[in-house]
Structure 1
Amino acid sequence: METFNQQQRKDLAAAYRLVALFGWDDLSSTHISARMEEEEQFLLNSRDLFFDEITASSLIEVDSSGRAINATHAVVNKAGFVIHSAIHQARPEVGCVIHTHTQAGMAVSAMECGLLPISQHALRFYNAIGMHDYEGIAVDLDERSRLVADLGESEAMILRNHGLLAVGKTVAEAFSAMYYLEKSCRAQVDAMQSHSKLYYPDEAVCQHVYDQYQSYPDYMQYDWQGLIRKLDRLQPDYKA
């Protein structure tokens, strides 16, 4: 039977491959992390690998100081450490953090209005998404406190002029949050490009849909299982 850490490695490697498969990656930039069983340790990618090259065994263990543990060759992404260590230290219930620089995500991050409640997907985050002002490339440790404060208890955050961030208790939950957030941003960009007046659902309806999403916390497991089956067919080497 696999240990918790072994399963985390496989799930995290799957998330990296899926992000690449969906076209959300940005060469070797951006990062995804997963908490390990050991206190204050998490898994992160080595900066010298593209997302479609990540395997379970290539993931590196990082401690609270940013040091790679038991790794003969690893390039720790400093910005990745700053962002992920901040959230893992402040939110012990978070098992996975995903950060992306997608075209739609960056576009919405530059909009003063932020994410608009104009699609069913976007209503998953209705009045429940963090906003973090741009401070430059996230390599300064003192930014961690502000990242954490701006995320609060939310499952997602827009990093202004930068990109998107999503968290979850599991890799499956974090991936689900990022999937819905990315689709919401793409829908918003497409709708705004139509130059048509946007229709906004009634506030009560928006809140009702948000509550509906909260009522079914396990629905993403079905999607995750399907995604794993897809990956097993297309790129089974992720588990190596």
Structure 2
Amino acid sequence: MQDVFKSQDVFKSQDVFKSIVTPAGYSDTEWKARIELALCYRMADYYGWTTQVYNHISYRIPGTDHLLINAFGLLYSEITPSNLVKIDMDGNKLDETPYPINQAGNVIHTAIHKGRPDIHCVMHTHNADVQAVSALECGFIPLFQEAYMFHERIGYHPFEGIVLDAEEQQRLVESLGKSNHTLMLNNHGVITTGPDVSWAFMRMYQIIQGCQVQLKAMASGAKLLQASDEAMIRTREQFEGGDAQAGAQVRLPEWPAYYRLMNRVDPNWIR
């Protein structure tokens, strides 16, 4: 798991930032972080993982104790690098903006960022397939190779109501644990995390697909076929160590591909 928890510049070999000029008032590091997080919001919208203006994704600006998060009230399709809001680890706004911060987002994200310093991006959704699995006593059952990246990497947190109370923060961190990257919020939704935006997004894509396959397989009524524990661990290590992307220019080649896709969908999204 060592390579996973080192932030990686997945854009480096693609040189996609060469033509981007950093606006006044931002460092190059912060502007790039804003672009990456805005792309994550746009792709979540592209895949339909949104719940109106609710849910949230946060990213720690590299080298700082400042987080970026969405302005509460904007659709994910409206998120741009410049309208993301910068907050400190206690949820205080550091940008001048007319928009508030979702209190549940504040509680969840600041808790995980403070409790797990190795985590730099925290992504939360209420996808319907994930919510269905979050209500099953059996929890998430990985049934195919991509889903095996979650073998022994998921924590579970019991439902306590809408997450508005700071007293729940420590319990959230304890439920995530020290080595898990994904947290199933029972009767609620899911959180995926990573050392950067691309890892959190990739894990969200795969946990949603994993839940979809699980629900379909369970609905068939047939007995579930499962790989051996040894095979699941080996497959997980192939994803975490990079073997699964063998031959690619970068560890997560889908991420620069998403950048190119968004440039076609909305050529003016970086503003």
User: Which TM-score applies when normalising by structure 2?
Assistant: 0.85
CA offsets, 1:69-91, max 9 Å, x none? 12231211000000000111122
1:214 deviation in Å? 1.8
Identity level (%):
35
CA distance in structure 2 between the partners assigned to 1:88 and 1:53 by the alignment: 25
Is the contact between residue 55 and residue 237 of structure 1 (CA under 8 Å) also seen in structure 2? no
1:44 aligns with one of 69, 84, 106 = 69
1:145 aligns with one of 162, 167, 170 = 170
Q: Which residue of 1 aligns with 2:196?
A: 170
CA offsets, 1:202-239, max 9 Å, x none? 22212221122222189452110111111111123321
| 1:45-60 alignment, distance < 5 Å | 45-60=70-85
Structure 2, unaligned runs of 5 or more = 1-20, 23-27, 246-250
What is the number of residues matched between the two proteins? 240
CA distance in structure 2 between the partners assigned to 1:129 and 1:217 by the alignment: 21
Q: Which residue of 2 aligns with 1:214?
A: 240
1:65 deviation in Å? 2.7
Is the contact between residue 117 and residue 201 of structure 1 (CA under 8 Å) also seen in structure 2? no
1:146 deviation in Å? 0.8
Q: Does residue 1:233 correspond to 2:264, yes or no? A: yes
1:157 deviation in Å? 1.1
Q: Which residue of 2 aligns with 1:109?
A: 134
| 1:172-191 alignment, distance < 5 Å | 172-191=198-217
CA offsets, 1:81-125, max 9 Å, x none? 000001111222222110000010100100111111212122111
Structure 1, unaligned runs of 5 or more = none
User: Which TM-score applies when normalising by structure 1?
Assistant: 0.95
1:79 aligns with one of 104, 108, 127 = 104
1:38 deviation in Å? 6.2
CA distance in structure 2 between the partners assigned to 1:202 and 1:217 by the alignment: 20
1:9 maps to amino acid: R
User: Structure 1 or 2: larger helix share?
Assistant: 1
Q: Which residue of 2 aligns with 1:15?
A: 40
1:128 deviation in Å? 1.5
Distance 1:131 1:82, change over 3 A: same
Matched position secondary structure for 1:127: coil
CA offsets, 1:10-51, max 9 Å, x none? 010000010010011110111000102464320111111011
Q: Which residue of 2 aligns with 1:134?
A: 159
